[in-house]
Amino acid sequence: MKKPLFFLFILSVVCLPMMGQVYLDASAPIEDRIEDALSRMTLQEKIAVIHAQSKFSSPGVARLGIPGIWCTDGPHGIRPEVLWDEWNQAGWTNDSCIAFPALTCLAATWNTDMSYLYGVSIGEEARYRNKDVLLGPGVNIYRTPLNGRNFEYMGEDPYLASKMVVPYVKGVQEQGVATCVKHYALNNQEVDRHWVNVNLSDRALYEIYLPAFRAAMQEGGSWSIMGAYNLYKGQYACHNSILLQDILRKEWGSDAAVISDWGGTMNTDQAITNGLDLEFGTWTDGLSDGASSAYDIYHLAMPYLKKIQSGEVGTKELDEKVRNVLRLIFRTSMNPNKAFGAMCSEAHSAAARKIAGEGIVLLRNANSTLPIELKASERPTILVVGENAIKMMTVGGGSSSLKAKYEISPLQGIQERAGDMANVQYVRGYVGDVGGEYNGVTTGQSLQDDRTPEQLTAEAVEAAKKADYVIFVGGMNKAHNQDCEDGDRLHYELPYAQDQLISALAAVNNRVIFVSISGNAHGMPWSQDVEAILQAWYSGSETGHAVADVIFGDVNPSGKLPYTIQATLADYPAHQYGEIAYPGVEKQVHYLEDIFVGYRYADLYGTRRPIKYESQGVQYVINPPKRKPTYPFGFGLSYTTFAYSEATLNGNQITVSVTNTGSRAGQEVVQLYVSDSKASVVRPKKELKGFCKVALQSGETKQVSFTITPDMLSFFDADAHQWVAEEGQFMMHIASSSADIYASLPYNYKK
């Protein structure tokens, strides 16, 4: 080959393609790389990267060697692959995952180490599957027990959710996968979720509904955040100027990419100006599923491009959006140091089992019925009753539905652990949801049973008469109008006449153990009739093992409730003002309970008169509860006992010693609540401001300390739009739940 031709060949093969590449290498600062890439992009390329190209991906810039972004639903496991432009499964055989416990279970551990383990484990699974963005975790506050997605969130308290979300975010992102914290903000119901406008005070917004998001962004450093479907002050959350521009960008200083919920973008002009960066899932112009041009007519696609080309809008906002998307890309898909990940490993199974076991809450244990101690010489008869003992729960519930590699049912776990040391029998008891399919993933179970409820009850009662123990595994499931996306529960009671069945079993057997598989509080009118109650959540692949671990004493339960369990629906403050407060009237919902959510409301029991006050022109009337909760926030029993020493206060440090006075090793959650003795505004009687989970061997004592800081004493002043800690006396309460206080110490705060 002649030299001129040879050099032309080298130029064409090697040099010319490189002329389009981003020059700055991966060692350069990300912000420099962003500006370099932005300067090389055409207008059409900039528009392309800010909206989807498929159901779960957005394009990069192929000409510049910039890959796209691949998202996956979470937050409990990695969603199976779907077809390019459909929700149905792609039919892969290698996209199963480990199903981790639902986030209510994680919150119930009250253990930030468990949260970090969870984040690392699920992050590794996402990384192995080449996912760049994990759509989770969810941190919306538990306002009503009817919310179909409460199981995906971290409970009723903003402090608990804030502390638990940060390690999760860090654990995931250490794997080179971005978390996408959701649903920002005020997505507290599924009824009318696409259309309802939320009205609430700035105090409630800042004190109750925003802290967990703020912690995820500022302390956790989440690389992306997902807008909610609902409206706030008349603007959709996915392009809401107050939430995205004023709060996220200006107040919190976040540089995260703002991603729309799927189909959450509703207005082109607001999407341009109000802070949305990346648009997914929009249904536009009535196009059928899979229409080839669907993505071109997204709000941030051709409509935006035409506005720029016509001069109607400039490119300042576009460049900001592209910067945020490029930053997300450089942190994830173009991160040269990202981990390789792992999928369905033994370590992940062990993590799922450990988290599930630590999250199970022992609510009642009369006569020390639990744990069941197996002895070969006795071989007791254990009767397991209930559909939830056999029903797979990883399929269904909405976008968190999974294709788990395996799922151990409670019955399997009990049978496996008992072995030949017990006679384990099973009867159905009730028939609930016999389905087992979601978007093409099927459980393969056949749960059809044509017997009448009377026949099923009679069978269960007769078997219970002969059993040494009855373990009733019930609760809810992930069918529509239960614990499921896009629909709220229709009532507070257990479905499928379980209440009547439990009462019938308790009438013939004095050792009935109730195990609730659910993600929401429910009525327990029979709570004093059964001997033991376990809140076991949706615990994923290792559900059965975790349940058996606790029932037979291999794990000493240490979970604490992340929400208050009230006796009836009417005992929840959101349900005391009629439809205007839930689910709303004419697509307007008003949070008339204001800041009195969860235990903040339950603490008013015993108050003689309604609390009346005005905030930002709205009159609030809070009627005290008529009864104590069935189980308070932060409550949970153990198989051992703990004693608290007298607490001491030294400067800003409060210290207490905790001793395990029982015969088993166990863990206790020491909780710190703060009361403002004399405030210029109405405040809750106390608020959680610290917790520490401490592991103790039998007879062991450990010290737990908390440092008091001004932010623990502050309230949000809506008029001044700032957090305020007023001088004066506060009370520091050391407790094991919101209702069990061991010590109260006065603390004088001076600025």
Report the C-alpha gap between 433 and 52 in whole angstroms.
35
Grouping H, G, I as helix, E, B as strand and the rest as coil, residue 272 is helix
Beta-strand pair 611-615/715-717:
unpaired
User: CB neighbours (10 Å) of residue 333?
Assistant: 21
Give the span between the Cα atoms of 224 and 187, in whole angstroms. Answer: 17
Q: For residue 14, what pLDDT is reported?
A: 41
pLDDT computed for residue 17 by the predictor: 40
Cα 440 to Cα 92, 283, 445, 486, 510: the distances in Å are: 11, 21, 14, 18, 43
Residues with Cβ within 8 Å of residue 316, at least 6 apart in sequence: none
Q: Is there a catalytic annotation at residue 261?
A: yes
Tokens of 674: 């703060």
pLDDT on residue 3:
45
- 482-485: which pairs have CB atoms within 8 A and are 24 or more residues apart? 482/148, 482/433, 483/148, 483/149, 483/150, 483/151, 483/397, 483/518, 483/519, 483/520, 483/538, 484/148, 484/149, 484/396, 484/397, 484/398, 485/148, 485/149, 485/190, 485/397, 485/398, 485/399, 485/400
Handedness of CA 25, 26, 30, 34 (dihedral sign): positive
The pLDDT, as a whole number, for residue 86 is 85
User: Token digits for 145?
Assistant: 């027990």
Tokens representing residue 658 in the block: 């905790």
Question: Cα separation of 550 and 358, whole Å?
Answer: 9
Judged on CB neighbours under 10 Å (0-12, 13-18, 19+), 746 is exposed
Residue-level pLDDT at 12? 41
Q: CA 474 to CA 629: how far, in whole Å? A: 21
Longest C-alpha distance within the chain, in Å? 100
Closest to 599 in 3D by CA, of 492, 686, 716: 686
Token pair 């397991």 is at which residue?
384
Residue ranges and CATH numbers for the domains of the chain are 24-331 (3.20.20.300), 360-551 (3.40.50.1700), 569-622 (no CATH), 642-749 (2.60.40.10)
| Sign, CA torsion 524/525/527/530 | negative
Query: E-assigned strands of 110-236?
Result: 133-135, 178-184, 197-199, 224-227, 231-232, 235-236
CA nearest to 703, candidates 635, 639, 654, 665: 654
Angle between helices 112-128 and 158-173 (to 10 degrees): 40
**Angle at the Cα of 568 (from 565 to 570), degrees rounded to 5?**
110
**Ranges of residues in the chain whose predicted pLDDT is under 50:** 1-20, 22, 285-288, 290
Distance CA 607, CA 596 (A): 14
Phi/psi region, residue 584 (left: phi>0; alpha: psi -120 to 50; beta: rest), is: left
pLDDT at 637 (0 to 100): 98
- Bond preceding residue 185 cis, omega within 30 of 0: yes
pLDDT score, position 21: 52
**What does the block give as tokens for 322?**
């592209």
Q: Which of 73, 95, 157, 261 is catalytic?
A: 261
**Residue 485, number of CB atoms within 10 A of its CB:** 18
Counting every residue, how long is the chain?
751
Cα distance between residue 634 and residue 657, in whole Å: 19
Instruction: Please name which of 702, 513, 601, 655 lies closest in space to residue 141, comparing C-alpha atoms.
Output: 601
Which positions ≥6 away from 91 have C-beta within 8 Å? 440
SS3 718: coil
Distance CA 422, CA 431 (A): 26
Structure tokens given for 184: 């920002």
Asked whether the beta carbons of 342 and 121 are under 8 A apart, the reply is no
What distance in Å separates the CA atoms of residue 122 and residue 153, rounded to the nearest whole number?
Answer: 16
Q: Which helix (H) or strand (E) holds 350?
A: helix 346-359
| C-alpha distances out from residue 43 to 50, 319, 322, 460, Å | 12, 10, 11, 69
Rounded Cα–Cα distance for residues 183 and 136 (Å):
9
Place of tokens 């968190």: 400
Q: Which CA distances in Å does 475 have to 452, 482, 496?
A: 20, 10, 10
284 vs 240, 254, 289, 295, 467, CA distance in Å? 20, 30, 10, 9, 59
Q: Which long-range contacts (CB under 8 A, 24 or more apart) does 526-531 make?
A: 526/499, 526/502, 527/363, 527/364, 527/630, 529/502, 529/503, 530/364, 530/472, 530/502, 530/506, 531/364, 531/365, 531/366, 531/367, 531/369
What pTM was estimated for this model as a whole?
0.96
Backbone angles phi, psi at 407, to 5 degrees: -145, 115
Q: Are 558 and 693 in contact (CB under 8 A)?
A: yes
CB-CB contact of 102 with 153 (8 Å): no
d(CA 495, CA 500) in angstroms, rounded, equals 10
